[in-house]
Structure 1
């Protein structure tokens, strides 16, 4: 059985990363590109932490430890994938806003 602590860690870190990414877009929209980049860095750090938790599960399974797939685990994976996508898109938004403002 997968530890709920690992699952909730993935959800929490991913949620924090998504929030930082959305905040980055807002900063970029308002022309504060330094703050936007700081938010992207924070999002990346949180995603790294979430990915470490996910890697623990993958490594355990690769070593033969079988896990029940729960709806909560699927939810955590969904959060992680969406947070990664939002971070990548936020980075693109920042670049676009910078180009528009000639910075």
Structure 2
């Protein structure tokens, strides 16, 4: 495995970690555990940040004239990262909905 492949796999790993943490947050919110959900979302954001920095480094190298080989693996990594980012955003909105539902349920119980 060459250095570029290792870098590409890092994007995939961090994107996957972010996605998993986002779904952990969603599960916590479904159980009305919003403090854990917040922690998981912070962890997801950190993982996305790592992946995004790696991606940005590659893009900057290309912008500076360095040849970057675009492979199917690199396209897969980009797709993986963008999907994780989109899912995290969607899950953030879903968590907000769970918070509203929880609040309304408490009002009804009173």
TM-score (norm 1): 0.95
SS at match of 1:64: coil
| Relative contact order higher in (CA < 8 Å, ≥ 6 apart) | 1
- In the alignment of these two chains, the number of paired residues is 103
Structure 1's unaligned 5+ residue stretches are none
1:60 and 1:2 map into 2 onto residues whose CA distance is 14
Residues 17-58 of structure 1, C-alpha deviations (whole Å, 9 max, x = no match): 000001111100010000001110000000000001001101
Structure number with larger C-alpha Rg: 2
TM-score scaled by length of structure 2: 0.89
1:29 corresponds to which residue?
A: 30
Helix, strand or coil: the match of 2:88?
A: helix
State the 4+ residue runs in structure 1 displaced beyond 2 angstroms: none
- Please report the RMSD computed on the Cα atoms of aligned residues, expressed in angstroms: 1.4
Contact 1:2 1:67 in 2 (8 A): no
